[in-house]
Chains A and B, each alone.
Chain A
Amino acid sequence: MKIILEKRAQQSKIMAYASPVLAIGLTVILGGIIFALAGYDPQTALYYYFVEPLTNFWSIEEVIVKATPLILIGAGLAICFSANIWNIGAEGQLTMGALVGSFIPVMFTDWQSPLVLLLMLVMGAMGGAAWAGLVAFLKNKFNVNEILTSLMLVYVAQYILDWFVRGPWRDPNGYNFPKSVSFEGWQLLPTYGDGRMHIGALIALIVVVLLTIMMTRSLKGFEIRAIGNSRRAGAFAGFSYKGMTWFCFLLSGALAGLAGIMEVAGPAGQLLPSISPGYGFTAIIVAFLGRLNPMGVLLAGILLAISYLGGDGAQMELGVSVKTAQVFQGMLLFLILTFDTLIRYKVKIIRSQTAEGELT
């Protein structure tokens, strides 16, 4: 007996949009079961995870703070994945963006001007793009698998950051703690509300709108979709796959780098050895949950931000490990990919082994 996946002749359009909803629903149910098995009341636990973060202003602001990098990075990754190009290392590009973007405030502590902030954002984006560009270069030049290189470069980036904040960029008056000087004035993003929500949310929103227009109306968006659907047809159209590889990595790297510097110039206010709770990886889930569609990424980003916050809340209120949030995220990605596969293929069980005739 063997189980095979058989391609469906017709793929349901409705199911393509229903799949994230089903995946979320099933994640919640499975999550409840896990809580019950661990000895918590599932209803209370789920309440802290998914509802409580939306019950007061402070936490709604916090959701937006956390959704901002997820949406920025997720939107970039959605473009990459649409072209069938796999940037798994946004976390590293975020790190590099944070590092390069911090150059001015760390080296020229006293410089205060709106230009400083602008330069920080630009350099952050360039840092992320350069780090991702390394992956594109290796892929185009030596045909190295981008999944491996982009992922491995995450760890390289993190160690470089670590070295900087413990070494040359350590705050001389910081009692030897591994952190840079605190940023001030124009070295920080303008904030709103109670003080943590910053202008990055607006930037993320603008990026989503621009990318939506690009994907639906422009020839570039067409090129991305054509190459993603059929590389050969893309080549027939005259679209360069190598060019596309550069474009996707530079764009998604720049957005991840921007997210990185905005974390530093926003909530953190200084460079620390660890600046992200895995936003770059979670953004992969955001991209898929958002159907590789920038607008969908907006919603998915908010949802996953809630789960981050809910994880913190549940830890404080119930003593559930904060890692549970990662279990949720993992389940969500697993389920959504499963549903997507089942939309495209049906499972067929073949009872007896058939021979070469079946292979043709």
Chain B
Amino acid sequence: MASARGKTGDASNEVYLLEAKNITKKFGEFTANDNVSIALKAGEIHALLGENGAGKSTLVKMMYGSLQPTSGTLFWNGEQVEINNPSMARDLGIGMVFQHFSLFESLNVVENIILAIPEEDDIAALAVKIEKVSAQYGLPLEPYAVVADLSVGERQRIEIVRCLLQEPRLLIMDEPTAVLTPQEAEQLFITLRKLTAEGVAILYISHRLEEVRKLCHDATILRRGIVVDNVDPQQETAQSLAQLMVGEAIHKIEARSAKKLGKTLLKTQNLNLKSGLQFGVDLIDINLDVRAGEVLAIAGIAGNGQSELFDALSGETRVSKKSTIQLNGVDCGTRGIRFRRKCEAAFAPEERLGHGAVPSFKLSENVILTRHDSDDDLVRYGFMDGKLMKAIAARITKKRDVRVSKTDPEAESLSGGNLQKFIVGRELDRAPKVLIVNQPTWGVDAGAAAMIRQALINCAGRNAAVLVISQDLDEIFELADRIAVISRGQLSKSFAVEDMTFEKVGLLMAGAHEKALPADNDAADNDAADVEVEDNGAPV
């Protein structure tokens, strides 16, 4: 592992594998990439850093042929090329692993891969190839497993193997570790280092700076479509990289000083819930409690029951027993979200547009969306108070520094970070006793994320019980007083943040706490074995 890591051998190669020179991409008036140049060497892991909207995706889409530059040129091995579509990119030897997988859940691994390789038609032969490649690069994969049964990490392996079968010379990876446990991520790094040792170049998009610092040989930083710097990440600190990305010092989060906990305000007792959806996750025996003044954070990889848990807590799905869920001392398992809001609970879901807010509604109308019942004055005799709606929207906009282009804009016109500030602000404005937030800073820029996290901590400081469900481990450790982990619909015990480490969370993410279920016995056993193997990796 260590041998593949040095910068030996690649300095001699003067011709770049892929070089983009003065690339500009405009969408109408908006310039997504402005005179961007970047050069990738064979055998190197090159990080592409930047906040959301900095232009990273635009740039890699041009390299992969899904977008065409407005001006500027691409060079492949020193020769000028035009990449008109992804299949041309693949023919050159460029592969890409997307953040969101394009897999058919009801098909198995080989079937999914054969769909992407039109010239291949022999399933059995391909299965052998898949086994060979996956063994070679340490990507264990069962060719005939159905995708729906696989973990996110395994699904990502399918995407990677699919690329590797075409023997790429450049592999573009978009936020590959966002969906992995720390152990799985470590496993992936081994694979990536093996690939670079064979001379493959990797363009690595991530916002996890520690990981970039450890893994990458070179880093190009984009800010608002412009290359602001090109650095050796191993010579930088996470702090200095963040500052380059954001362009200003990031507001440091202040922890609360006094921690006097009050009564338990949020409690579930043996919460069991069958998911109605085909690939949904059943919740199994979830017990949690949050006391006034503390933040309980629930970690876990996406798709392990987080949204099901959120819906059960918010009352969008109800359970059959009243006492299963207790909010602010009131049993409300069977009651809907309106009743629960009246118990002074507030909720902010993961999906901002189309769940937390109606996209085409103005902010003032979106105030009504969650507060029509709980705020006495907003709706009287069935009629809405237009003035008050606007006043509340203005108050939230001001207090949470929501940047708007005009007064009272439509929700869909706001950037992700600004809309999230508004949605969280809308709930905080009620001064709730219980606050439940799912993925509070998912896809939010660093500045906004820091503000939102601070607001959540302050909310607990005002003696509310705060439950944060998040995939972002940094966020979890920043916010939490106690941490619990959800995997496959089962919630671990909670541990004080002082007693938790990334490795411990990682083991729990992989299901170390899961009780073996009668029907699922094999899978659970396999997972436990996996964890032991993967645990050899160095701590992140």
Residues of A within 8 A of B (CB): 217-220, 222, 225-226, 229-230, 232-238, 240, 352, 354-360
Is A218 touching B66 in the complex (CB atoms < 8 A)? no
Q: How large is the interface on B (under 10, 10 to 19, 20 to 34, 35 or more residues)?
A: 35 or more
Query: How far does the Cβ of B526 sit from chain A's closest Cβ, in whole Å?
Result: 29
Which of B64, B354, B372, B382 lies in contact with A233, CB distance below 8 A? B354
CA separation between A291 and B354, bound complex, in Å?
A: 22
Other contacts beyond A222-B365, A229-B361, A235-B337: 16, CB < 8 A = A219-B372, A219-B379, A219-B384, A222-B368, A222-B372, A230-B355, A233-B355, A233-B358, A233-B369, A236-B337, A237-B370, A238-B315, A238-B336, A354-B66, A355-B116, A358-B86
CA gap between A235 and B315 in the complex, in Å: 10
Of the residues A218, A352, A354, contact of B384 by C-beta under 8 Å: A218
A217:B384 contact, CB within 8 angstroms: yes
B84 in contact (CB, < 8 A):
yes
Residues on B with C-beta less than 8 A from A232 are: 351, 354-355
Contact of B96 among A218, A354, A357 (CB under 8 A): A357
Q: Do residues A356 and B102 form an inter-chain contact, with CB atoms below 8 A? A: yes
CB pair A352 B84 closer than 8 Å: yes
B316 within 8 A of A: yes
List the 10 closest pairs (A to B, CB-CB), nearest first: A238-B338, A357-B86, A238-B337, A230-B354, A237-B369, A233-B358, A354-B85, A360-B98, A229-B358, A232-B355
Q: By the criterion CB–CB under 8 Å, are B316 and A235 in contact?
A: yes
Given contacts A226-B369, A233-B355, A357-B64, contact A220 B382 (CB under 8 A): yes
**Bound complex: CA of A196 vs CA of B96, how far in Å?**
72
Residue of A nearest to B340 (CB): A238
Residues in B lying within 8 Å of A, measured CB to CB: 64-66, 84-87, 90, 96, 98, 100-102, 115-116, 314-316, 336-338, 341, 347, 349, 351, 354-361, 365, 368-370, 372-373, 379, 382-384, 386
Complex Cα–Cα for A356 and B357 (A):
31
Q: Are A237 and B372 in contact (CB under 8 A)?
A: yes
Tell whether A236 pairs with B356 under 8 Å between CB atoms, given A219-B383, A357-B64, A357-B96: yes
Residues of B close to A222: CB separation below 8 A: 365, 368, 372, 384
Q: Is there an interface contact between B382 and A236, defined as CB atoms closer than 8 Å?
A: no
Q: Which residue of A lies closest to B103 (CB)?
A: A356
CB distance from B118 to the nearest CB of A (A): 8
Question: A354 is contacted by which of B86, B369, B373 (Cβ under 8 Å)?
Answer: B86
Say yes or no: A236-B361 contact (C-beta < 8 A), given A219-B379, A358-B86. no
A-B contacts, 9 of them at CB < 8 A, read A222-B368, A225-B361, A233-B357, A235-B316, A237-B337, A354-B85, A356-B102, A357-B86, A357-B98
Which residues from chain A contact B315 at a C-beta distance below 8 Å? 238
CB distance from B203 to the nearest CB of A (A): 15
Which residue among A217, A218, A236 has the maximum number of chain B CB atoms within 10 Å of its CB? A236
The answer to whether B98 and A236 have CB atoms under 8 Å apart is no
A232–B355 CA distance with the chains assembled, in angstroms: 5
Determine if A236 and B372 form an interchain contact, defined as CB atoms under 8 angstroms apart: no
Chain A neighbourhood of B85, CB < 8 A: 352, 354-355
Contacts of B351 in A (CB 8 A): 232
In the bound complex, residues from chain A placing their C-beta under 8 Å from that of B384 are 217-219, 222
A91, B355: Cα distance in complex, Å? 35
- Compute how far the CA of A355 lies from the CA of B166 in the bound complex, rounded to whole angstroms: 14
Q: Are B358 and A218 in contact (CB under 8 A)?
A: no
Among B84, B102, B316, the residue within 8 A (CB) of A236 is B316
Give the distance in Å from the alpha carbon of A218 to the alpha carbon of B380 in the complex: 9
Contact partners of A230 in chain B: CB under 8 A: 354-355, 358-359
Measured between beta carbons, the chain B residues less than 8 angstroms from A229 are 358-361
**In the complex, which residues of chain A have a beta carbon less than 8 angstroms from the beta carbon of B349?**
236
State the main secondary structure of chain B at its contact with A. Answer: loop
CA distance A225 to B96 in the complex (A): 41
* Bound Cα distance from A235 to B84, whole angstroms: 43
B373 and chain A: residue at smallest CB distance: A238
Chain A residues within 8 Å of B98, by CB = 357, 360
How far does the Cβ of A59 sit from chain B's closest Cβ, in whole Å?
41
From A235, which residue of chain B is reached at the shortest CB distance? B316
Asked if B86 and A219 make an inter-chain contact with CB atoms under 8 angstroms apart, the answer reads no
Alpha-carbon distance A230/B411, docked complex (angstroms): 13
A355 touches B365 (CB 8 A): no
Report yes or no: A236 in contact with B87, Cβ–Cβ below 8 A.
no
Q: Are A233 and B356 in contact (CB under 8 A)?
A: yes
Residues of B within 8 A of A360 (CB): 98, 100-102
Supposing A236-B337, A238-B341, A352-B84 touch, asked if A359 and B102 sit within 8 A by C-beta, the answer is yes
Q: Cα distance A357–B351 when bound, in Å? A: 24
B346 to A: closest C-beta gap in Å:
12
Could you tell me the distance between the alpha carbons of A352 and B115 in the complex, rounded to whole angstroms? 18
Task: State the CA gap A305–B369 with chains docked (Å).
Answer: 39
Which chain B residues border A359 with CB–CB below 8 Å? 102
Q: What chain B residues lie within 8 Å of A357 (beta carbons)?
A: 64-66, 86, 96, 98
Q: Are B382 and A219 in contact (CB under 8 A)?
A: yes
B116 touches A356 (CB 8 A): yes
Docked-complex contact B66 and A358, CB < 8 angstroms = yes
A220: which B residues are within 8 A, CB to CB?
Answer: 382
Output the least CB separation between A168 and chain B (Å).
43
- Given the complex, which residues of A lie within 8 Å of B361, measured CB to CB? 225-226, 229
Residue in B closest to A223 when the chains form the complex, CB atoms? B372
Contact flag A236-B369 (CB < 8 Å), given A355-B116, A357-B64: yes
Q: How distant is the Cα of A272 from the Cα of B79 in the complex, in angstroms? A: 82
Contact yes or no, A226 B86, CB < 8 A: no
Residue of chain A at shortest CB distance from B381: A218
Return B406 CB to nearest CB of chain A, in Å. Answer: 13
CA distance A358 to B373 in the complex (A): 43
- Nearest A residue to B370 via CB reads A237
* Residue with the greatest number of chain B CB neighbours at <10 A, chosen from A226, A233, A235, A359: A233
Q: A220-B382, A357-B96, A360-B100 are in contact. Are A236 and B86 (CB under 8 A)?
A: no
Which residues of B are found within 8 Å of A238, using beta-carbon distances? Answer: 315, 336-338, 341, 373
B115 contact set on A, CB distance < 8 A? 356
Q: Considering the chains assembled together, what is the distance between the CA atoms of A234 and B349 in angstroms?
A: 13
Q: A233-B354, A237-B370 are in contact. Are A218 and B359 (CB under 8 A)?
A: no
Which residue of chain B is the closest to A233 with respect to CB atoms? B358
Closest to B30 in A: A9
> Which residues from B are CB-within-8-Å of A352?
84-85
CA of A134 to CA of B8, assembled, Å:
76
**Interface contact B87-A355, CB-CB below 8 Å:** yes
Q: How far is the CB of A355 from chain B (nearest CB, A)?
A: 5
